[in-house]
Amino acid sequence: MKLMLKAKMIMDNFKSNAKRVLVNEDGDQITGWLIVILLVVVVGAVFLNTYQATILELWNGIINKAKNTFGI
């Protein structure tokens, strides 16, 4: 029961924060979100570029394991 109440409180807090962000027309808020999105894209691109070979090896390993398991 306590977990459900805590989850409801967190959800209500999230909703109120989301409403505040959407209603807020302050340029700083929008700029902040754009900076966050830019950082996520840049970090993701660097990560994919750096670990491209490893990701391909992992993916091929998963595919091979699935083929061996299911006899494809």
pTM to 2 decimal places: 0.43
* Predicted confidence (pLDDT) at residue 60 exceeds the cutoff of 90: yes
Confidence category of residue 11, pLDDT binned at 50, 70, 90: confident
Tell me, what's the pLDDT at 27? 64
CA distance 5 to 41: 35
Report the run of H or E that residue 67 belongs to, with start and end: helix 52-70
Count of H-run helices and E-run strands, the chain: 3, 0
Q: Which tokens go with 51?
A: 């670990």
pLDDT above 80: residue 36: yes
Q: Output the pLDDT for position 19.
A: 72
Residue 59: which pLDDT band, with cuts at 50, 70 and 90? very high
| Residue whose token pair is 């340029």 | 27
